[in-house]
Structure 1
């Protein structure tokens, strides 16, 4: 555990991408199997130790620590794993050990529910402070070290001198601790052969249009499509195997069985998963909130499928049959895709329509006033561009609608994680709503990004100086008509919500600006958001 704990510490303190990759490469080269495979799984989010819950960890510490002292410590530190690792006192007769990561993971995986408590206690007694911290982060799945699964795969590619696309192709056909993968990367074995040919392929990504990005570019060289508010998916039907993947490569076939059943097309297509009705039907396309009713389910009922019918709006093709056509230009792939979708089930597949335009100004006007509320903006694709994995600037652009903005009042705050564990950086904000007793604040969203480090200092200081109540790790702050903190919040859209008292839920909220020049009484009202929702529709 010592080497893994040291890796976590160094990754947290290393902001540069290339430096993080070097740390990962060095670890993967030096760590033995199966420890390095389990470390990879933990970092990439594919390791599951469901038997270890935060409540169990908290209870173990309370066996040896006063309850009040624990809560004060937890509130100050802001992170459960860090609190327990620092406060844990092993019995004096137990010697510290460096337990291999592989042994820790495999013993936890084999342990029954009744055995986990004593096993975790024993590990905590025998590990040092950094080892305990790594163990608890590993067990709860909350590493928060600034390393994405994509970055981990890039490190693997550099370690073995391979293309990251090769790693992506194998990734979802292998399981921790990835022994065949590491044997191939170290040159000790051939490239693994997967059981299913319907593997996930790295997707092509677009860059956001910035100031001046379109200057000098000829609109005639580009095709435009609407950017729909669903989720990016890849559908593969190869060698008799059918799979539906999210853009990150997670298989979601079980949540959308009607798509799998209707996928008689042979090849691999790229598109947007939506609910409602296709353009070849009279039913309107549903919102992202409608789509959420279907997401993250292992099984789905017939009633849910009938209420929220899913379909794919296709906008690219990677393989036509077994032929790889990614090197072909977009215009050629578009023709192949059109022929494929025309013969597909009209209830489950349609073709993303092209948007006609002759100038960037004309397209800007169309982008700002799209014909459907489920449209987020437009996608721009060079007609001669091949399908390339990753995000290369130039071939594809995304040009989203301008975000909505409101002024809201801070209501609650909670400490962040990792480098932000000593700051209050997760903020809940609200707007004014009329009630029987007059106007009061109702929460409408939560944000933990959008502000600079300097602005975070200002927000953190306000929370500390204006806390009026505590709810465990959450602090309620002063929020009155003439005393409080106003922030400008930007968001992509609104959905109706039964979970929030306000009845609305924001899409991708972030704090755009601090507004110390405004009093809370000047913040927006709930009617403003309700009117925005009406405008969307």
Structure 2
């Protein structure tokens, strides 16, 4: 457990992507099975313990320390695992003579009944030092938050393969060396669906001790092909419009729908299965193969705003009322496999023809085609991008070479995304909350608002990125210097007509929302600039925001059949 705790601690304090990769790679190389496999499962989100709830953790610590002291400490620290790790009074009389191994913790929790979980966790907390307690609690609550995506963890696993392994002595008395080919993360993703923690077969293959695990598991995820951002000033002059097919960049989530040998699954672009939240879409998968497309809410042929789709995301199950209110569908734009044949090496133009034939036979209201955008010149496409007839549901356009194969990763050149410019408003900071991980000592999550007709501020969004580390220090100081009230871990910040900090907020879209007092919700808000120079009274009004929302909704249109 100590090595895993050290890994999590260093990951949480490391901002560099490459440095994180090296940390995880080195841990996986030196840690024995099965500990490293359970660690990889935790880092990729494949490990969860339903009985270990935060409420149970709070109850356990309040039985050991003064509940008021714990509440004050929690309010100050802002993170449950960190607070408990620091405040937990170890029982010296019953402290075990050694710390538990990661595999011991995982296997015990997997076998434990609900009443057995709390005593187990309390015993481990007694046995561990503060850093180990923190790692334990992050593990059992499933909230690692160390700035490592599932794909980055798999990338580190692919790097476990050594540069060479020695062969046994040859008959002539010599000794040969077999060089192992490097493993790309796409290869790990290709076989991931057929693997189970703690991944002994994966590591045996990576280290040259075993065969490559089978990659033909029915319903498996295929690594996705990604686009690069288009640089208008550079790319358009060197690209020929005739070489590229254009389509709308829909404001939904990218999915991969797979049905093979009776196994049907719906994956997000990162390979997370989301089938349970979309049974209506799953019923529409009557083909044999794998398609790539966009998951959206579509009513009467019209794509709804992303906010409607959010009503169905991050759920394990869904009820009939929600399905009826937010009918989901896939607009497909590629086909990866059909009837057991891998089509990814074919050019896009041929894959699109096969997709059209598949949808002609198996399409319907839950499964349709993302139509191509007809154009001949870049200027013509630029006008459509700036004012799309499909309105807020389109974030821009996609450009894909007609002769491009489907290649995992983000190759430069075959595919481009040409997004619309974001909306901008000036808003006033109203509240601030501490972040997590390396930001846990800074106020880094900011709620901002705009002026109502009564000259009061109403919140319209929350942002926690878009600023540099130096700007974060400045924002944190402003919050501490101008706090007017405290609500647990949240601080109210002085915000008046004649005094307040104005933030330029960039966002991708607006939706109507009954959950927010202002009546609106922003899509992907982030801080574009800190307007130290601008008086608070000159920030945007709610009327301006609602006018923008009206214009966005008015620009919407029906989808072509």
TM-score if structure 1 supplies the norm length? Answer: 0.93
d(CA) in 1 for partners of 2:305, 2:124 = 47
SS in 2 for 1:131: helix
Moved more, 509-518 or 32-41: 32-41
Deviation at 1:95, TM superposition (A): 4.8
Question: 1:153-302 alignment to 2 at 5 Å?
Answer: 153-160=154-161, 161-193=182-214, 196-210=217-231, 211-277=233-299, 283-302=301-320
Q: Are the counterparts in 2 of residues 196 and 241 from structure 1 also a CA contact under 8 Å?
A: no
Task: Rate the CA distance shift 1:467–1:36 in 2: closer, same or farther, 3 A.
Answer: same
Q: Does 1:398 align with 2:417?
A: yes
What is the CA deviation profile of residues 196-231 of structure 1, one whole-angstrom value per residue up to 9, with x for unaligned ones? Answer: 412110111111223523332222221110111111
Task: Rate the CA distance shift 1:360–1:10 in 2: closer, same or farther, 3 A.
Answer: same
d(CA) in 2 for partners of 1:95, 1:259 = 52
d(CA) in 1 for partners of 2:448, 2:213 = 50
d(CA) in 2 for partners of 1:259, 1:77 = 43
Q: Does 1:81 align with 2:81?
A: yes
d(CA) in 1 for partners of 2:193, 2:460 = 37
Q: Does 1:430 align with 2:449?
A: yes
Q: Does 1:471 align with 2:487?
A: yes
SS in 2 for 1:390: coil
| 1:525 matched residue in structure 2 | 541
Moved more, 374-383 or 161-170: 161-170
Deviation at 1:412, TM superposition (A): 0.9
| 2:164 matched residue in structure 1 | none
Q: Are the counterparts in 2 of residues 21 and 154 from structure 1 also a CA contact under 8 Å?
A: yes
SS in 1 for 2:452: strand
Deviation at 1:193, TM superposition (A): 4.0
Deviation at 1:58, TM superposition (A): 2.9
What is the CA deviation profile of residues 325-371 of structure 1, one whole-angstrom value per residue up to 9, with x for unaligned ones? Answer: 21112112122212222222332222211112233222221101000
How many equivalent residue pairs? Answer: 530
d(CA) in 2 for partners of 1:300, 1:414 = 32
Deviation at 1:490, TM superposition (A): 0.6
SS in 2 for 1:145: coil
Deviation at 1:69, TM superposition (A): 3.6
d(CA) in 2 for partners of 1:273, 1:467 = 42
Unaligned runs of 5+ in 1: none
Question: 1:314-333 alignment to 2 at 5 Å?
Answer: 314-333=332-351
Task: Rate the CA distance shift 1:22–1:452 in 2: closer, same or farther, 3 A.
Answer: closer
Q: Are the counterparts in 1 of residues 99 and 124 from structure 2 also a CA contact under 8 Å?
A: no
Moved more, 267-276 or 501-510: 267-276
- Two-structure CA RMSD over aligned residues (Å): 2.0
| 2:550 matched residue in structure 1 | 534
| 1:338 matched residue in structure 2 | 356
Q: Are the counterparts in 1 of residues 13 and 437 from structure 2 also a CA contact under 8 Å?
A: no
| 1:105 matched residue in structure 2 | 106
Q: Are the counterparts in 1 of residues 226 and 409 from structure 2 also a CA contact under 8 Å?
A: yes
Deviation at 1:31, TM superposition (A): 1.8
What is the CA deviation profile of residues 130-155 of structure 1, one whole-angstrom value per residue up to 9, with x for unaligned ones? Answer: 21111111122222222111111111
Task: Rate the CA distance shift 1:204–1:63 in 2: closer, same or farther, 3 A.
Answer: same
Deviation at 1:43, TM superposition (A): 1.0
Deviation at 1:483, TM superposition (A): 1.5
What is the CA deviation profile of residues 98-121 of structure 1, one whole-angstrom value per residue up to 9, with x for unaligned ones? Answer: 210011122223222222222211
d(CA) in 2 for partners of 1:415, 1:326 = 45
Q: Are the counterparts in 2 of residues 96 and 125 from structure 1 also a CA contact under 8 Å?
A: no
TM-score if structure 2 supplies the norm length? Answer: 0.90
| 1:313 matched residue in structure 2 | 331
Moved more, 242-251 or 499-508: 242-251
Moved more, 91-100 or 45-54: 91-100
d(CA) in 1 for partners of 2:118, 2:287 = 50
Deviation at 1:15, TM superposition (A): 3.2
Moved more, 248-257 or 486-495: 248-257
| 2:55 matched residue in structure 1 | 55
d(CA) in 1 for partners of 2:325, 2:89 = 55
Q: Does 1:483 align with 2:499?
A: yes
| 1:16 matched residue in structure 2 | 16
Task: Rate the CA distance shift 1:45–1:299 in 2: closer, same or farther, 3 A.
Answer: closer
Task: Rate the CA distance shift 1:410–1:253 in 2: closer, same or farther, 3 A.
Answer: same
SS in 1 for 2:303: coil
| 1:492 matched residue in structure 2 | 508
